[in-house]
Structure 1
Amino acid sequence: MPGISARSGGAGFACRLIGALLLAVLLFVTSADAHRQSSGGDGSGAGIPIPNLTHGQMAVIADNMTAILAVADRQTGLDETARRLRAFVDWQYFFCFRGLVPGSLKDEESPFNECSHAYLAGTQALLLELRQTRGDRAEVRALVDKVGLDMIRNNAALVLCRFSSEAFNTADVVSPRWSEVPAHPPSLATFGGLAFLIGGALWLGLRRRTAPVSGPLPAG
Protein backbone atom coordinates (compact mmCIF):
# COMPACT_ATOMS: atom_id res chain seq x y z
CA MET A 1 0.00 0.00 0.00
CA PRO A 2 1.30 3.52 -0.78
CA GLY A 3 0.98 4.71 2.81
CA ILE A 4 2.84 1.74 4.21
CA SER A 5 5.54 2.05 1.55
CA ALA A 6 6.09 5.73 2.32
CA ARG A 7 6.33 5.04 6.03
CA SER A 8 8.73 2.15 5.45
CA GLY A 9 10.94 4.31 3.24
CA GLY A 10 11.00 7.08 5.83
CA ALA A 11 11.79 4.63 8.60
CA GLY A 12 14.61 3.10 6.55
CA PHE A 13 16.12 6.52 5.89
CA ALA A 14 15.88 7.40 9.58
CA CYS A 15 17.54 4.12 10.58
CA ARG A 16 20.42 4.63 8.13
CA LEU A 17 20.94 8.20 9.29
CA ILE A 18 20.77 7.25 12.96
CA GLY A 19 23.33 4.51 12.39
CA ALA A 20 25.67 6.89 10.59
CA LEU A 21 25.10 9.51 13.29
CA LEU A 22 25.96 7.23 16.19
CA LEU A 23 29.10 5.86 14.54
CA ALA A 24 30.32 9.26 13.36
CA VAL A 25 29.68 10.84 16.76
CA LEU A 26 31.70 8.06 18.36
CA LEU A 27 34.61 8.85 16.07
CA PHE A 28 34.14 12.58 16.50
CA VAL A 29 34.28 12.38 20.30
CA THR A 30 37.69 10.72 20.14
CA SER A 31 39.16 13.66 18.20
CA ALA A 32 36.84 16.60 18.79
CA ASP A 33 39.56 19.24 18.95
CA ALA A 34 40.56 19.04 15.28
CA HIS A 35 38.59 19.97 12.19
CA ARG A 36 41.04 18.19 9.89
CA GLN A 37 42.08 14.96 11.55
CA SER A 38 45.14 12.97 10.59
CA SER A 39 44.37 9.38 9.71
CA GLY A 40 48.01 8.38 9.81
CA GLY A 41 48.36 7.67 6.08
CA ASP A 42 50.94 4.96 5.56
CA GLY A 43 52.45 5.38 8.98
CA SER A 44 54.91 8.04 7.90
CA GLY A 45 52.38 10.88 8.08
CA ALA A 46 52.59 11.40 4.31
CA GLY A 47 49.42 11.02 2.30
CA ILE A 48 48.41 11.19 -1.35
CA PRO A 49 47.44 14.67 -2.57
CA ILE A 50 43.92 14.90 -4.00
CA PRO A 51 43.18 17.78 -6.42
CA ASN A 52 40.33 20.19 -5.74
CA LEU A 53 36.84 19.67 -7.13
CA THR A 54 34.47 22.45 -8.22
CA HIS A 55 30.85 22.50 -7.07
CA GLY A 56 29.69 21.49 -10.54
CA GLN A 57 32.20 18.65 -10.81
CA MET A 58 31.13 17.45 -7.39
CA ALA A 59 27.54 16.98 -8.62
CA VAL A 60 28.71 14.93 -11.62
CA ILE A 61 30.96 12.70 -9.52
CA ALA A 62 28.14 12.19 -7.00
CA ASP A 63 25.87 10.96 -9.81
CA ASN A 64 28.55 8.49 -10.94
CA MET A 65 30.00 7.54 -7.56
CA THR A 66 28.28 4.16 -7.29
CA ALA A 67 29.53 3.16 -10.74
CA ILE A 68 33.08 4.39 -10.04
CA LEU A 69 33.37 2.43 -6.79
CA ALA A 70 31.86 -0.67 -8.41
CA VAL A 71 34.42 -0.54 -11.22
CA ALA A 72 37.23 -0.05 -8.71
CA ASP A 73 36.06 -3.05 -6.69
CA ARG A 74 36.03 -5.24 -9.80
CA GLN A 75 39.63 -4.44 -10.72
CA THR A 76 42.19 -7.07 -9.81
CA GLY A 77 45.34 -5.03 -10.40
CA LEU A 78 44.89 -1.98 -8.16
CA ASP A 79 48.17 -0.24 -7.37
CA GLU A 80 49.01 1.15 -3.94
CA THR A 81 47.75 4.64 -4.81
CA ALA A 82 44.38 3.31 -5.97
CA ARG A 83 43.99 1.16 -2.86
CA ARG A 84 44.72 4.08 -0.58
CA LEU A 85 42.34 6.35 -2.48
CA ARG A 86 39.63 3.68 -2.27
CA ALA A 87 40.13 3.39 1.49
CA PHE A 88 40.07 7.17 1.88
CA VAL A 89 36.76 7.45 0.01
CA ASP A 90 35.15 4.81 2.25
CA TRP A 91 36.42 6.47 5.41
CA GLN A 92 35.58 10.03 4.38
CA TYR A 93 32.14 9.05 3.04
CA PHE A 94 31.31 7.39 6.34
CA PHE A 95 32.61 10.36 8.32
CA CYS A 96 30.37 12.68 6.26
CA PHE A 97 27.26 10.64 7.25
CA ARG A 98 27.19 8.99 3.83
CA GLY A 99 25.72 12.13 2.26
CA LEU A 100 22.39 11.59 4.04
CA VAL A 101 22.11 15.00 5.70
CA PRO A 102 19.94 17.30 3.53
CA GLY A 103 21.96 19.87 1.59
CA SER A 104 25.27 18.04 1.95
CA LEU A 105 25.92 18.09 -1.79
CA LYS A 106 24.09 21.09 -3.23
CA ASP A 107 24.18 23.68 -0.44
CA GLU A 108 27.60 25.27 0.00
CA GLU A 109 26.44 26.69 3.35
CA SER A 110 25.82 23.18 4.68
CA PRO A 111 28.20 22.14 7.48
CA PHE A 112 28.56 18.89 5.51
CA ASN A 113 29.47 20.40 2.15
CA GLU A 114 33.23 20.52 2.70
CA CYS A 115 33.46 16.90 3.81
CA SER A 116 31.29 15.98 0.79
CA HIS A 117 33.83 17.74 -1.42
CA ALA A 118 36.53 15.60 0.21
CA TYR A 119 35.05 12.17 -0.49
CA LEU A 120 33.93 13.14 -3.98
CA ALA A 121 37.34 14.62 -4.82
CA GLY A 122 38.81 11.32 -3.65
CA THR A 123 36.35 9.44 -5.86
CA GLN A 124 37.38 11.45 -8.92
CA ALA A 125 41.07 10.91 -8.14
CA LEU A 126 40.36 7.19 -7.81
CA LEU A 127 38.66 7.10 -11.22
CA LEU A 128 41.64 8.76 -12.87
CA GLU A 129 44.06 6.44 -11.08
CA LEU A 130 42.13 3.40 -12.33
CA ARG A 131 43.48 4.16 -15.80
CA GLN A 132 46.82 2.80 -14.54
CA THR A 133 45.44 -0.52 -13.31
CA ARG A 134 46.03 -3.92 -14.92
CA GLY A 135 42.34 -4.83 -14.86
CA ASP A 136 39.57 -4.18 -17.38
CA ARG A 137 40.79 -0.92 -18.90
CA ALA A 138 37.97 -0.85 -21.46
CA GLU A 139 35.42 -0.57 -18.66
CA VAL A 140 37.47 2.13 -16.97
CA ARG A 141 37.93 4.12 -20.19
CA ALA A 142 34.19 3.96 -20.91
CA LEU A 143 33.40 5.34 -17.45
CA VAL A 144 36.07 8.05 -17.72
CA ASP A 145 34.58 9.11 -21.07
CA LYS A 146 31.05 9.16 -19.65
CA VAL A 147 32.07 11.29 -16.67
CA GLY A 148 33.99 13.63 -18.94
CA LEU A 149 30.96 14.13 -21.19
CA ASP A 150 28.76 14.76 -18.14
CA MET A 151 31.24 17.41 -17.00
CA ILE A 152 31.09 19.16 -20.39
CA ARG A 153 27.31 19.01 -20.68
CA ASN A 154 26.88 20.54 -17.23
CA ASN A 155 29.67 23.16 -17.54
CA ALA A 156 30.85 21.59 -14.30
CA ALA A 157 34.19 23.40 -14.15
CA LEU A 158 32.44 26.78 -14.13
CA VAL A 159 30.10 26.14 -11.18
CA LEU A 160 32.04 27.21 -8.09
CA CYS A 161 31.51 27.46 -4.35
CA ARG A 162 33.61 28.41 -1.33
CA PHE A 163 35.28 24.97 -1.22
CA SER A 164 35.97 24.65 -4.95
CA SER A 165 39.64 25.62 -4.62
CA GLU A 166 40.36 23.34 -1.66
CA ALA A 167 42.64 20.35 -2.20
CA PHE A 168 42.66 17.30 0.07
CA ASN A 169 44.96 14.50 1.19
CA THR A 170 44.47 10.85 2.07
CA ALA A 171 46.25 11.46 5.40
CA ASP A 172 43.52 13.87 6.54
CA VAL A 173 39.87 13.19 7.22
CA VAL A 174 37.63 16.26 6.99
CA SER A 175 34.92 16.27 9.63
CA PRO A 176 31.63 18.18 9.34
CA ARG A 177 31.69 21.78 10.56
CA TRP A 178 29.77 21.09 13.75
CA SER A 179 29.85 24.70 14.96
CA GLU A 180 27.83 25.72 11.88
CA VAL A 181 24.99 23.22 12.42
CA PRO A 182 22.85 25.56 14.62
CA ALA A 183 22.94 28.23 11.89
CA HIS A 184 21.92 25.83 9.11
CA PRO A 185 18.17 25.06 9.40
CA PRO A 186 18.13 21.78 7.36
CA SER A 187 20.98 20.29 9.39
CA LEU A 188 19.53 21.55 12.66
CA ALA A 189 16.13 20.09 11.79
CA THR A 190 17.73 16.76 10.84
CA PHE A 191 19.59 16.35 14.11
CA GLY A 192 16.71 17.74 16.12
CA GLY A 193 14.44 15.13 14.52
CA LEU A 194 16.97 12.38 15.20
CA ALA A 195 17.27 13.45 18.84
CA PHE A 196 13.47 13.33 19.11
CA LEU A 197 13.35 9.83 17.57
CA ILE A 198 16.11 8.51 19.79
CA GLY A 199 14.58 10.12 22.87
CA GLY A 200 11.17 8.70 22.02
CA ALA A 201 12.58 5.21 21.49
CA LEU A 202 14.41 5.34 24.83
CA TRP A 203 11.29 6.60 26.60
CA LEU A 204 9.15 3.81 25.14
CA GLY A 205 11.77 1.23 26.09
CA LEU A 206 11.93 2.48 29.67
CA ARG A 207 8.16 2.64 29.89
CA ARG A 208 7.81 -0.97 28.79
CA ARG A 209 10.44 -2.13 31.27
CA THR A 210 8.82 -0.32 34.19
CA ALA A 211 5.20 -1.09 33.31
CA PRO A 212 3.52 -3.36 35.90
CA VAL A 213 2.88 -6.90 34.74
CA SER A 214 -0.80 -7.79 34.94
CA GLY A 215 -1.84 -11.32 35.75
CA PRO A 216 -4.67 -13.35 37.26
CA LEU A 217 -5.76 -12.43 40.77
CA PRO A 218 -4.69 -14.88 43.48
CA ALA A 219 -7.34 -17.37 44.55
CA GLY A 220 -9.19 -16.44 47.75
Structure 2
Amino acid sequence: MKRLLLRSAISIAALALLTGGAMAHSRTASENHSGIPVPEISHGEMAVMADYRDRIIALASGATDTNEPFRRVLNYAQIQYSYCLWGRMPGSVTDEESPFNECAHAYLAATKAVLLSLRDMPRESEAATAIISDADADMVRRGLSLITCRFSGEAFNTADVIKPRWSEIPLHTASMASFSGFFAVIFGVFFAGRRLLRVQSSV
Protein backbone atom coordinates (compact mmCIF):
# COMPACT_ATOMS: atom_id res chain seq x y z
CA MET A 1 0.00 0.00 0.00
CA LYS A 2 2.85 2.38 0.84
CA ARG A 3 4.33 1.63 -2.57
CA LEU A 4 1.01 2.54 -4.25
CA LEU A 5 0.77 5.82 -2.35
CA LEU A 6 4.38 6.66 -3.27
CA ARG A 7 3.62 6.01 -6.94
CA SER A 8 0.51 8.18 -6.65
CA ALA A 9 2.53 11.05 -5.22
CA ILE A 10 5.11 10.70 -7.99
CA SER A 11 2.38 10.67 -10.65
CA ILE A 12 0.79 13.82 -9.22
CA ALA A 13 4.15 15.58 -9.02
CA ALA A 14 4.82 14.66 -12.65
CA LEU A 15 1.42 16.03 -13.62
CA ALA A 16 2.20 19.29 -11.87
CA LEU A 17 5.51 19.59 -13.74
CA LEU A 18 3.92 18.82 -17.08
CA THR A 19 1.30 21.53 -16.65
CA GLY A 20 4.06 24.08 -16.18
CA GLY A 21 4.74 26.83 -13.68
CA ALA A 22 2.45 29.26 -15.48
CA MET A 23 -0.53 27.22 -14.32
CA ALA A 24 0.37 27.62 -10.66
CA HIS A 25 -1.85 30.68 -10.61
CA SER A 26 -4.47 28.84 -12.66
CA ARG A 27 -5.38 31.53 -15.17
CA THR A 28 -4.16 31.37 -18.74
CA ALA A 29 -1.12 33.55 -19.32
CA SER A 30 -3.00 36.05 -21.52
CA GLU A 31 -6.07 36.53 -19.29
CA ASN A 32 -8.00 37.07 -22.52
CA HIS A 33 -11.05 39.32 -22.09
CA SER A 34 -12.31 39.18 -25.67
CA GLY A 35 -15.21 36.86 -24.80
CA ILE A 36 -18.48 37.33 -22.90
CA PRO A 37 -18.11 38.77 -19.38
CA VAL A 38 -19.33 36.50 -16.57
CA PRO A 39 -20.17 38.33 -13.30
CA GLU A 40 -18.63 37.13 -10.05
CA ILE A 41 -20.32 34.79 -7.61
CA SER A 42 -19.93 34.84 -3.82
CA HIS A 43 -18.58 31.90 -1.87
CA GLY A 44 -21.96 31.54 -0.17
CA GLU A 45 -23.83 31.47 -3.47
CA MET A 46 -21.52 28.76 -4.80
CA ALA A 47 -22.59 26.15 -2.28
CA VAL A 48 -26.25 26.55 -3.26
CA MET A 49 -25.64 26.96 -6.99
CA ALA A 50 -23.69 23.67 -6.98
CA ASP A 51 -26.80 21.92 -5.63
CA TYR A 52 -28.96 23.33 -8.44
CA ARG A 53 -26.43 23.03 -11.27
CA ASP A 54 -27.94 19.91 -12.84
CA ARG A 55 -31.43 21.45 -12.94
CA ILE A 56 -30.10 24.67 -14.45
CA ILE A 57 -28.00 22.99 -17.14
CA ALA A 58 -30.84 20.62 -18.04
CA LEU A 59 -33.23 23.57 -18.45
CA ALA A 60 -30.66 25.57 -20.44
CA SER A 61 -29.78 22.64 -22.71
CA GLY A 62 -33.42 22.29 -23.71
CA ALA A 63 -33.94 25.98 -24.44
CA THR A 64 -34.67 26.73 -28.10
CA ASP A 65 -35.09 30.51 -28.28
CA THR A 66 -31.46 31.36 -27.47
CA ASN A 67 -28.82 33.78 -28.72
CA GLU A 68 -25.07 33.52 -29.21
CA PRO A 69 -24.02 35.13 -25.88
CA PHE A 70 -26.27 32.71 -23.97
CA ARG A 71 -24.87 29.69 -25.83
CA ARG A 72 -21.30 30.83 -25.26
CA VAL A 73 -21.79 31.30 -21.52
CA LEU A 74 -23.53 27.91 -21.32
CA ASN A 75 -20.66 26.31 -23.22
CA TYR A 76 -18.17 28.03 -20.91
CA ALA A 77 -20.01 26.70 -17.85
CA GLN A 78 -19.75 23.16 -19.20
CA ILE A 79 -16.10 23.49 -20.26
CA GLN A 80 -15.14 24.89 -16.86
CA TYR A 81 -17.05 22.09 -15.16
CA SER A 82 -14.97 19.48 -17.00
CA TYR A 83 -11.72 21.35 -16.25
CA CYS A 84 -12.74 21.24 -12.59
CA LEU A 85 -13.06 17.43 -12.87
CA TRP A 86 -16.87 17.58 -12.86
CA GLY A 87 -16.99 18.86 -9.29
CA ARG A 88 -15.71 15.53 -7.96
CA MET A 89 -12.75 16.85 -5.99
CA PRO A 90 -13.47 17.16 -2.25
CA GLY A 91 -13.63 20.75 -1.05
CA SER A 92 -13.57 22.26 -4.54
CA VAL A 93 -16.67 24.35 -3.77
CA THR A 94 -16.40 24.89 -0.03
CA ASP A 95 -12.64 25.13 0.65
CA GLU A 96 -10.98 28.27 -0.69
CA GLU A 97 -7.57 26.64 -0.20
CA SER A 98 -8.48 23.86 -2.63
CA PRO A 99 -6.50 23.93 -5.90
CA PHE A 100 -9.89 23.51 -7.60
CA ASN A 101 -11.74 26.34 -5.84
CA GLU A 102 -11.10 29.09 -8.39
CA CYS A 103 -12.16 26.93 -11.32
CA ALA A 104 -15.26 25.97 -9.30
CA HIS A 105 -15.98 29.69 -8.94
CA ALA A 106 -15.74 30.01 -12.73
CA TYR A 107 -18.17 27.24 -13.67
CA LEU A 108 -20.65 28.17 -10.95
CA ALA A 109 -20.49 31.87 -11.85
CA ALA A 110 -21.28 30.90 -15.44
CA THR A 111 -24.07 28.61 -14.23
CA LYS A 112 -25.58 31.49 -12.27
CA ALA A 113 -25.34 33.75 -15.34
CA VAL A 114 -27.11 31.09 -17.41
CA LEU A 115 -29.89 30.86 -14.81
CA LEU A 116 -30.45 34.62 -14.79
CA SER A 117 -30.61 34.63 -18.59
CA LEU A 118 -33.17 31.81 -18.53
CA ARG A 119 -35.39 33.95 -16.33
CA ASP A 120 -35.77 36.39 -19.25
CA MET A 121 -36.77 33.72 -21.77
CA PRO A 122 -40.54 33.34 -22.33
CA ARG A 123 -40.62 29.53 -22.36
CA GLU A 124 -38.08 28.94 -19.57
CA SER A 125 -38.96 31.92 -17.36
CA GLU A 126 -41.34 30.10 -15.03
CA ALA A 127 -39.00 27.15 -14.39
CA ALA A 128 -35.99 29.46 -13.97
CA THR A 129 -37.86 31.68 -11.51
CA ALA A 130 -38.82 28.60 -9.49
CA ILE A 131 -35.16 27.54 -9.29
CA ILE A 132 -34.14 31.06 -8.23
CA SER A 133 -36.80 31.08 -5.49
CA ASP A 134 -35.69 27.68 -4.21
CA ALA A 135 -32.02 28.74 -4.26
CA ASP A 136 -32.78 32.01 -2.45
CA ALA A 137 -34.71 30.14 0.23
CA ASP A 138 -31.81 27.70 0.65
CA MET A 139 -29.33 30.55 1.05
CA VAL A 140 -31.42 32.22 3.73
CA ARG A 141 -32.01 28.94 5.58
CA ARG A 142 -28.32 28.04 5.50
CA GLY A 143 -27.08 31.57 6.20
CA LEU A 144 -24.76 31.58 3.20
CA SER A 145 -25.44 34.97 1.62
CA LEU A 146 -22.72 36.86 3.54
CA ILE A 147 -19.99 34.23 3.30
CA THR A 148 -17.10 35.34 1.11
CA CYS A 149 -13.63 34.11 0.18
CA ARG A 150 -10.60 35.39 -1.75
CA PHE A 151 -12.24 34.63 -5.13
CA SER A 152 -15.68 36.09 -4.27
CA GLY A 153 -15.09 39.38 -6.09
CA GLU A 154 -13.51 37.79 -9.16
CA ALA A 155 -15.34 38.18 -12.48
CA PHE A 156 -14.68 35.82 -15.38
CA ASN A 157 -14.71 35.80 -19.17
CA THR A 158 -15.66 33.08 -21.64
CA ALA A 159 -12.34 33.58 -23.45
CA ASP A 160 -10.32 32.95 -20.28
CA VAL A 161 -10.48 29.35 -19.09
CA ILE A 162 -9.59 28.86 -15.41
CA LYS A 163 -7.57 25.71 -14.75
CA PRO A 164 -6.96 23.97 -11.43
CA ARG A 165 -3.79 24.80 -9.53
CA TRP A 166 -2.16 21.46 -10.31
CA SER A 167 1.14 22.25 -8.58
CA GLU A 168 -0.69 22.82 -5.27
CA ILE A 169 -2.39 19.40 -5.17
CA PRO A 170 0.42 17.74 -3.13
CA LEU A 171 -0.03 20.52 -0.53
CA HIS A 172 -3.79 20.07 -0.20
CA THR A 173 -4.63 17.05 1.94
CA ALA A 174 -8.12 16.32 0.58
CA SER A 175 -7.07 16.64 -3.07
CA MET A 176 -3.95 14.55 -2.49
CA ALA A 177 -5.96 11.83 -0.76
CA SER A 178 -8.47 11.77 -3.61
CA PHE A 179 -5.79 11.46 -6.29
CA SER A 180 -3.92 8.86 -4.24
CA GLY A 181 -7.09 6.77 -3.97
CA PHE A 182 -7.70 7.13 -7.71
CA PHE A 183 -4.19 6.02 -8.64
CA ALA A 184 -4.35 3.20 -6.10
CA VAL A 185 -7.46 1.87 -7.85
CA ILE A 186 -5.80 2.21 -11.27
CA PHE A 187 -2.69 0.37 -10.13
CA GLY A 188 -4.84 -2.28 -8.43
CA VAL A 189 -6.79 -2.92 -11.63
CA PHE A 190 -3.55 -2.99 -13.63
CA PHE A 191 -1.86 -5.57 -11.39
CA ALA A 192 -5.04 -7.66 -11.14
CA GLY A 193 -5.20 -7.69 -14.94
CA ARG A 194 -1.56 -8.76 -15.20
CA ARG A 195 -2.09 -11.56 -12.70
CA LEU A 196 -5.18 -12.76 -14.57
CA LEU A 197 -3.27 -12.82 -17.86
CA ARG A 198 -0.46 -14.83 -16.24
CA VAL A 199 -2.95 -17.36 -14.87
CA GLN A 200 -4.65 -17.69 -18.27
CA SER A 201 -1.34 -18.11 -20.10
CA SER A 202 -0.21 -20.84 -17.73
CA VAL A 203 -3.41 -22.90 -18.22
Work out whether residues 78 and 130 of structure 1, in 8 Å CA contact, stay in contact via their aligned partners in 2.
no
Aligned amino acid, residue 167 of structure 2: S
2:57 corresponds in structure 1 to: 69
Work out whether residues 114 and 176 of structure 1, in 8 Å CA contact, stay in contact via their aligned partners in 2.
yes
Alpha-carbon spacing, 1:98–1:32, altered in 2? closer, same or farther (3 Å):
farther
Q: Does residue 105 of structure 2 align to residue 114 of structure 1?
A: no
Q: Does residue 118 of structure 2 align to residue 130 of structure 1?
A: yes
Work out whether residues 76 and 134 of structure 1, in 8 Å CA contact, stay in contact via their aligned partners in 2.
no
Aligned amino acid, residue 78 of structure 2: D
Alpha-carbon spacing, 1:195–1:181, altered in 2? closer, same or farther (3 Å):
same
Alpha-carbon spacing, 1:179–1:210, altered in 2? closer, same or farther (3 Å):
same
Which of 36, 46, 49 does residue 27 from structure 2 map onto?
36
Aligned amino acid, residue 36 of structure 1: R
Structure 2 residues not aligned, in runs of 5+? 1-14
What per-residue deviation string (whole Å, max 9, x for no partner) do you get for residues 91-121 of structure 1?
A: 1001101111111111111111111111000
Alpha-carbon spacing, 1:32–1:205, altered in 2? closer, same or farther (3 Å):
farther
Which of 182, 192, 197 does residue 204 from structure 1 map onto?
192
What per-residue deviation string (whole Å, max 9, x for no partner) do you get for residues 178-207 of structure 1?
A: 121111111111111112211222222233
Aligned amino acid, residue 209 of structure 1: L
After the TM superposition, which of the residue ranges 121-130 and 134-143 deviates more from structure 2? 134-143
Which of 24, 46, 52 does residue 40 from structure 2 map onto?
52
Aligned length: 186
1:89 corresponds in structure 2 to: 77
1:186 corresponds in structure 2 to: 174
Work out whether residues 119 and 126 of structure 2, in 8 Å CA contact, stay in contact via their aligned partners in 1.
no
TM-score where L is the length of structure 1: 0.74
**For 1:92, what is the secondary structure of its paired residue?**
helix
Aligned amino acid, residue 64 of structure 1: Y
**Larger RCO, structure (CA 8 Å, separation 6 or more):** 2
After the TM superposition, which of the residue ranges 198-207 and 156-165 deviates more from structure 2? 198-207
1:143 corresponds in structure 2 to: 131
User: Partners of 1:136 and 1:202 in 2: how far apart?
Assistant: 47
User: Partners of 1:188 and 1:214 in 2: how far apart?
Assistant: 39
Work out whether residues 81 and 129 of structure 1, in 8 Å CA contact, stay in contact via their aligned partners in 2.
no
Alpha-carbon spacing, 1:29–1:79, altered in 2? closer, same or farther (3 Å):
farther
Deviation at 1:143, TM superposition (A): 2.1
Deviation at 1:71, TM superposition (A): 1.5
Work out whether residues 95 and 101 of structure 2, in 8 Å CA contact, stay in contact via their aligned partners in 1.
yes
Deviation at 1:77, TM superposition (A): 0.6
**For 2:28, what is the secondary structure of its paired residue?**
strand
User: Partners of 1:115 and 1:86 in 2: how far apart?
Assistant: 15
Deviation at 1:214, TM superposition (A): 4.0
Work out whether residues 96 and 175 of structure 1, in 8 Å CA contact, stay in contact via their aligned partners in 2.
yes
Alpha-carbon spacing, 1:115–1:138, altered in 2? closer, same or farther (3 Å):
same
After the TM superposition, which of the residue ranges 204-213 and 166-175 deviates more from structure 2? 204-213
